[in-house]
Amino acid sequence: MDYKVEISALLSKITGLESEEIARLMEIPPQSDMGDYAFPCFILSKQMRKSPVMIAAEIASSSDFDAPYIDSVRSQGPYVNFFIDKGHYAKSVVSEILQKGEQYVSSNIGIGKTVIVEFSSPNIAKPFHVGHAFTTVLGHSLSRIYDKLGYNVVRVNHLGDYGTQFGKLITAYRLWGDESALEASPIDELLRIYVLFHEKEKDDPQLTQDARDNFRRLEAGEPEEKALWQRFRDLSLKAFAKVYDRMGVTFDSYKGESDYSDRIPGVISFLEEKDLLIDSDGARVVMLDEYKLPPCLVVKSDGTTIYASRDLAAAMFRHEHYNFYKNIYVVGLPQSLHFQQVFAVLDKAGADYAKNCEHVGFGLVKFKNMKFSTREGNIVVLEDLLNESIAKTLDIIRSNAELRQTDMSEDEILDIANKVGIGSVIYTYLKSGRERDIVFSWEEMLDFEGDSAPYLIYTYARTRSILRKAMDQGISSSNAFDDALSLLKSDEEFALLKLLSDLPDAIEKAASSNEPFMLSRQVSRIARAFNRFYNNSSILRDSDDRLRSARLAICEAVCTAIKTGTYLLGIDVVERM
């Protein structure tokens, strides 16, 4: 039951305002003793020729609020505060969650609309580092959130598989490549020769020219250069697939930069037809003075293309192929100017879908008191972070008897460590607003009592344990669908129920702002509220059978909420710990 909608309808009859407008104005009071919903009366002051305080008092005294779900209505200054009947609220929230299961957070607001989420997009021939993990985790979560809201989601991995760096890589491989090393550890070998190229290039300008020549031959489709490039690409994708599999990440498209190379002439022609391309020192640019942006470089002076030209081609293709409602680019904040320019060029060219393209930026990744043996190029590789997190989680579980059951097999302990360890990394990326820099700290990541994945997973396992014990004792929540649920009236129970009820709204806010943090924060609040309820309530030992069943129903509802929320974040839970 949507109490805000119901209360808005009652207020509409009294005030004459449209219920939709009232719902928009309705607020959640900052303190529980101020009610559950509050309506500000300022908007009525002019038409009623009274102070908002007087209007609030008159509305609060109305006899039209005789509804079973309203406990009381009080005025406080210019606000009308509504107190929901706790028993009615409990029946409404818990019964809906138990009846609908994980679908209680689903929505149809996205039906018939396509959202493209471009994320991860690593550069081939380079290690998958912790920076790539940010876009991967963020984009994966957003994809699941949009999918839950009914959107047709297209997950795109726009591979960095083109550009002048591949001219450098081809040159380096021909000079210093080790075939056996490439077969044994392709990414490490490709990184080694790439770093070596940059070291040698400082003293040998001919290397720079050779790299340019090789890239031009690659763009022209010369067989030898293209074959080497294809091999580097295939080996890289095979390595990336292992990382994606560990994190449960999937894609619908791997169309990278190279896939749009044959569409570049069409982009150039399109911009020429619009009379937008200007020659500038041999290069070709689009002037963006009216957008207060620097010129957008489309073709370099040597005739080769650049990121912007390929992103323009990709956006045009996506519009033609998908007719998207949203085209989201999950890319780091340092690329903000680049995307502003690309979107401005599209807009200047008359592409109405430019307004539906959005850059979802994110901050940097930092480490606190954490040491890694960085690869060549001073890179912290994601797999090293995952492995270390799993190993440390395993140590914690093995050294703490409270975190494991005595009958657990070694395989089960390893599975728990794997899910908690990887979940810890994922949650660290998503527990704060995406534009903030992420600071990794083992103490915070693996804190089973803090704002962390281990805390969420452990709380879920605790609820499952309670339900298993209830089943063993022959106690069921099945009779909690009668008036038993109306017994849930304690402060801890009501606070938890409100958080459970607000989860669907948190998911919608996460989508509208492209901020999974909105969801992670809500799931964390639910877990913390459940543990307060658990510590202050007798669940299995209460002498009142009905209250015992009702509290078990809360446990089931919390199970559903945490499992659904963590899934949308990309985190796996475990059934017991």
Tell me which residues are annotated as active site. 126, 129, 132
Torsions phi, psi of 172, nearest 5?
Answer: -65, -40
SS3 string, 521-576, reads HHHHHHHHHHHHHHHHCCCCCCCCHHHHHHHHHHHHHHHHHHHHHHHHHCCCCCCC
The alpha carbons of the chain give a radius of gyration, in whole angstroms, of 29
Q: In the block, which residue shows the tokens 């600071």? A: 439
Q: How many CA within 13 A on the CB side of residue 224?
A: 9
C-beta of residue 37 within 8 angstroms of C-beta of residue 3: yes
Q: In the block, which residue shows the tokens 């020769």? A: 193
Where residue 292 falls (left for φ over 0; alpha for ψ -120 to 50; beta otherwise) is left
Q: In the block, which residue shows the tokens 């509305």? A: 59
The tokens describing 225, both together, are: 């250069």
**CA 156 and chain centroid, separation:** 15
Q: Measured on CA atoms in the order 550, 552, 558, 559, is the torsion positive or negative? A: negative
SS3 string, 292-341, reads CCCCEEEECCCCCECHHHHHHHHHHHHHHHHCCCEEEEECCHHHHHHHHH
3-state secondary structure of 242: helix
Q: How far is CA 165 from CA 124, 195, 197, 211, 379, in A?
A: 10, 11, 10, 8, 17
Apex 339 CA angle, 338 and 344, nearest 5: 105
C-beta of residue 329 within 8 angstroms of C-beta of residue 339: yes
Torsions phi, psi of 265, nearest 5?
Answer: -55, -35
Q: What is the residue type of 180?
A: S
Nearest to 165 by CA among 307, 301, 284: 307
CA separation for the pair 85, 98 (Å, rounded):
20
